[in-house]
Structure 1
Amino acid sequence: MASIHEHDKAVQAAQNIEMVEVEDGYTLTNLPDESITQQFDIDQIPQRDVTQEDLTASAKEDPESWLMYGGGYQQQRHTSADVITPDNVEDLELEYLVQSGVASSMEGVPIVVPGDPPVMYQTNGPNHAKAINARTGETLWSYTYANPQGLLLCCDANNRGFAVHGDKVFMTTLDSGIVALDRYTGEEAWYTSTGDHEIGYSATWAPIVYDGQVITGSAGGEYGVSGFVAALDPESGDEMWRTNTTPAEEWAGDSHEHGAGTVWMTPTLDPDTGMLHAPVGNPGPDFDGTVRPGPNRYTIGTLTLDATDGSVQWHYGESPHDVWDYDSSATKIRVNDMEMGDGETRDVVLSPGKTAWVYTMDAENGQLLERSQETTQHINMWKMVPHADEDRRVAFVPGAHGGNDWQPPSYNPETGLMYMNQNNAPHEIFWKEAQYEAGQTYWGGGLNDWPDVDEPDDWNGNLSAVVAVDPATGERVWRDWISSDTTSDYLWGGSITTATGLTFTGTQNGNIIAYDGENGDRLWQFQLGAPICSSLSSWYDPGEGKQYVAVQVGGSGWLHGGRRGSTVAVFGLSE
């Protein structure tokens, strides 16, 4: 792979980019003047456009594909591929490693378009992307987007993956845009800006494509922006509709102007009804609630829109007038015809919040049907946040990383259970009067991260856990506490499930683990030597008679001590 990187101008450009820490955030330097595509053997890519029918069948109905971030529109992260089973998973072997050549944030999900050969499309920070032969790991083209100078990044140079439709793949960009690439050549087709990066808008999640629309959202809540969900034309990039998450009529005074409520993770869609379930983050400023009286509606929860025009259908809030930074940013899960504990059948939306409960809502109207047993400890929740001048701190669990931060959950229709990577670390937070200034952070306070806190009484010392919940009844079925000697080893990626009852996930200790989804037994694990901060994908290749599992390996540097990686690991098992 090194010889390829020596001749890969896109990799070289990305390698030159440096992430620099600034006050309360990051920016990038040594950026390329223009975007760069490097082509290799692109003739290997089968000339077959991805249709709407393909997207609707992805992963759950078609085991040969994984065409979007969550496998399918409903974000269940479930594959119908059934080669790997609890009885043979111990035979799962490493097929190959892809070295992206860019040691940056590795939080993305590789998508796979079926064919002969199947083609993997993979992204990582800072807006670097590749097309890869999914059988051999050979790079077919690579691409680096030319972000402008002056980016404002709260957390890292993340990118979590492509969307695909027709002859294009679509990637959000750190300057709050979307770029469309020809998926056969890696060349740019169009670029559209969705927000002003100079005042803090950004974009890191994977978009989705549905019914002739590329659906995207907003990041930058830490800079006092106002959140939105928007749809673009996949052929031209023209905006088709936009819905603001802080409408003036729902907020007091002019607080909506900088009220955040950003939608900074991938939304969930039900193709039968066209309902779009968007995860919404914190109100702004994060900790100073005095400048935004009222419930700050449409923040910290699930905002459901009509995907045809963006009209609001319902909202369920998990922490009204939040001052604890309890974003509800994780992708929601849609399950139709779920048998509830009362014997009724409902279409439901499942939300794992930072508050460390699973909320099961009626998909039609947002009514809360069940709130689960706690997924982590609950200590000092909802305590009043002290002012910065007060000589006291309150350590609360879950802290501002959750519970469930952005890491996507999974659902297995075979077991009826939902699986989540959860955090259990204490934080101390404080507030101070916030004055908005364009291009500056708008926290309204700050926080102390563990271990720089006074540990609360009764805290069990575990930073994280893998948890299974029955969303129909709210029962916590099993929980595997993840112990670590490293102070920053939160769980910071997602899981997937299989038709045979397995759950795969990764840890910051570097292990990819296969669980028995029914009881939480560890059936297999493999040490990959670097933190796993990403989510996985899986597919069946009929040409090889194998089921594959792919995961990106490498840290999210701001949270995990600067440890970086640049690897995509692909495992396989033959029939």
Structure 2
Amino acid sequence: MSIEEDRAVQAAQDTVVRETDNGYRVLGSPEESVTHQHDIDRIPQFDVTQEMVSGSGENQEAWLTYGGNYEMHRYTTADVIGPDNVNDLEVEYDISVGSGSSMEGSPVIVPGDPTVMYQSNGPNHIKAIDARNGDVLWSYTYAVPSDVVLCCDDNNRGPAVWQDKVYMTTLDSGVVALNRYTGEEEWYTSTADHERGYSATWAPIVHDGTIYTGSAGGEYGVRGFHTAIDAETGEQKWFTRTCPEEEFVGDSINQAAGTNWMTATYDEERDVLYMPVGNPGPDFDGSVRPGPNRNTCGTLCIDAETGERLWFHQESPHDVWDYDSASPRMLIRDLEFDHRDEVRDTVVNAGKTGWAYSMDAETGQLITRSDPGVQQLNMFSMIPHIDDGRRGTFMPGGMGGCDWHPATYNHETGLVYYKMHNNAQEAWWRFEEFEEGRKYWGGILEDETEAMPDEYNGHISSISAFDPTTGKLVWRDWIDSDTYLWGGTMSTTTGLMFAGTQNGQFIAYDAETGERLWEFDTGDAPLSSSPISWYDPDEGKQYIAIQVGGSGWLRRGKRDDRVVVFSLAE
């Protein structure tokens, strides 16, 4: 059966995403969720155990979590592809998934005969795919309510797998569980009221029968939270607000935002989560929320069993620049800080500020802050009031620096690799009355500036390598384009680092030096997703997959609906 006859694909194609003055609206979604089965008998039926997920990072045949392992290293031990033969990489298959909306996702790979890929994209569409040849085994489209409001497109950045189920967050701030063999819906749980402005776009994580998922909607005056859900039943186990009430003045806590709208990192040894946390609300008017607005724009550590807040590291106190800190954290164990004569388990991330931060995993204490990855011009200068007649150009702009882009940690080089924006934006603050379900920015953010700072070097983006122990910028590749760089990176045990660009280039770098060793032109659509890799012993090949297509908000480039898979035989 062809993809053109797939009812779930048709439902996704009929779902229209419109940009309005209140963000994105999803229209034309099916009244009920749709599953279409193609060849489900080819999916091997066995439980994805906790042992398998915990060992995913060391298993070259698997990619069982969003980051490849719980520590979010986005690193593969598969060693077929290396610097000496990367030029021999070939396209194994290039498939259309049939629903060309936002393509920011990162698939998961379940090893077996055959290996199965679970791949998702906007608008809440997911497939089971034979990872050897690209055959679709089943498809599913979630029935998104028509009154969902989204600040930044109908993104879905990936699924999670556990035992006999696959999980996906939904645009109406929920989680749906599907039978991973049949694609049929098992249960759905709402985590918050989407009419209030809450939504969900990230990949959840699962550990020992518990799903961990967060909150989005910081541009709508919501109050951020993280929650734990029973993976078998969908029942909520605990619910924790990110921002403590005593840290906000008066009623401002009710619109405090502080959402954690990207995937948390799980520490199995400590049984804690390290969560990226976004901006306070409203974004640009800080006058209604005096003080540092703690537990926003930084890293929050919480107890995975109880949801208790343990520590927080803040990158932009009393933020009025929309400097979310959204990129998933990487946990690096036993990191050696030679200049301090210390060895520590370390949490590493880069934020919109353009710096990368290394923090003690036990306490949250800042150990090092890196060299800037991009230019910092007029940074932290006060945003002018809209009636002042002044322009407030600052760099990095509200897009960052590093936005949600997941990084990679290469075990051989000891370096971390980030994509970053190098562009200014303009903002003004103004007083706005809060209205539930409406944008609550407290100002205006302009993507196109009237005049760039004189010192601007003209490069819109960069791909960079940092030493997390010293903060040194080791190498940087400036990227030129009219659109923003989006998506994540991935590295290999053989010393390669892979990244896509907004120009449709898929690049293999020498992870140590930054030399471009291989490039492939996927077309004129951006690569806004994050690559993954795995080895199939029955085929004797290593594969690399990346989704092709931009997303709609601001300068992200044209849509596409493709998954390109490369391979190299032993």
Q: TM-score w.r.t. structure 1 length?
A: 0.98
Query: 2:529 aligned with 1:531, yes or no?
Result: no
Contact 1:248 1:254 (8 Å CA) reproduced: no
Distance in 1, Cα, partners of 2:453 & 2:387? 21
Match of 1:141 in 2: 138
Match of 1:438 in 2: 436
Distance in 2, Cα, partners of 1:447 & 1:453? 13
Contact 1:5 1:101 (8 Å CA) reproduced: yes
- Decide which of 55, 58, 67 is 1:57's aligned counterpart: 55
Contact 1:398 1:423 (8 Å CA) reproduced: yes
Q: CA deviation at 1:243?
A: 0.9
3-state DSSP class of the match of 1:12? helix
Match of 1:453 in 2: 450
Match of 2:508 in 1: 514
Distance in 1, Cα, partners of 2:35 & 2:22? 33
Distance in 2, Cα, partners of 1:146 & 1:41? 23
Report how many residues are paired.
Answer: 568
* Residues 98-497 of structure 1: pairs in structure 2 closer than 5 A: 98-342=95-339, 343-450=341-448, 452-484=449-481, 487=482, 489-497=483-491
Q: Deviations over 1:479-536 (max 9, x none)?
A: 000112xx2x211100001001100010010011000000000000101012100001
Distance in 2, Cα, partners of 1:306 & 1:212? 16
3-state DSSP class of the match of 2:508? strand
Distance in 2, Cα, partners of 1:250 & 1:391? 33
Q: Which amino acid aligns with 1:235?
A: E
Contact 1:80 1:499 (8 Å CA) reproduced: yes
Distance in 2, Cα, partners of 1:338 & 1:573? 33
Q: CA deviation at 1:561?
A: 5.8
Q: Which amino acid aligns with 2:400?
A: G
Contact 1:5 1:12 (8 Å CA) reproduced: no
3-state DSSP class of the match of 2:41? helix
Q: Which amino acid aligns with 2:156?
A: N
Q: Deviations over 1:430-456 (max 9, x none)?
A: 100121110110000011113x33111
Q: CA deviation at 1:6?
A: 2.5
Distance in 1, Cα, partners of 2:268 & 2:496? 26
Distance of aligned partners of 1:505 and 1:561 in 2 relative to their CA distance in 1, 3 Å threshold: closer
Contact 1:427 1:453 (8 Å CA) reproduced: no
Q: CA deviation at 1:562?
A: 5.7
Distance in 2, Cα, partners of 1:561 & 1:571? 24
3-state DSSP class of the match of 1:286? coil
Distance of aligned partners of 1:561 and 1:308 in 2 relative to their CA distance in 1, 3 Å threshold: closer
Q: CA deviation at 1:250?
A: 1.9
Query: 2:562 aligned with 1:573, yes or no?
Result: no
Contact 1:41 1:140 (8 Å CA) reproduced: yes
Distance of aligned partners of 1:227 and 1:561 in 2 relative to their CA distance in 1, 3 Å threshold: closer
Match of 1:498 in 2: 492
Q: Which amino acid aligns with 2:229?
A: L
Distance in 1, Cα, partners of 2:212 & 2:373? 31
Match of 1:548 in 2: 543
Distance of aligned partners of 1:459 and 1:562 in 2 relative to their CA distance in 1, 3 Å threshold: closer
Q: Deviations over 1:106-145 (max 9, x none)?
A: 0000110000110000000000010000001000000000
3-state DSSP class of the match of 2:8? helix
Contact 1:331 1:406 (8 Å CA) reproduced: yes
Match of 1:90 in 2: 87
Contact 2:502 2:556 (8 Å CA) reproduced: no
Q: CA deviation at 1:247?
A: 2.2
Moved more, 3-12 or 369-378: 3-12
3-state DSSP class of the match of 1:180? strand
3-state DSSP class of the match of 2:487? coil
Query: 2:21 aligned with 1:7, yes or no?
Result: no
Q: Which amino acid aligns with 2:512?
A: E
Q: Which amino acid aligns with 1:73?
A: Y
Q: Name structure 2 gaps, 5 residues minimum.
A: none
Distance in 2, Cα, partners of 1:271 & 1:109? 22
Q: Deviations over 1:392-426 (max 9, x none)?
A: 11211111111000111111111000000010001
Q: Which amino acid aligns with 2:513?
A: N
Q: Which amino acid aligns with 1:373?
A: D
Q: Which amino acid aligns with 2:175?
A: I
Distance of aligned partners of 1:561 and 1:303 in 2 relative to their CA distance in 1, 3 Å threshold: closer
Distance in 1, Cα, partners of 2:208 & 2:338? 35
Q: Which amino acid aligns with 2:136?
A: T
Q: Which amino acid aligns with 2:500?
A: G
Q: Name structure 1 gaps, 5 residues minimum.
A: none
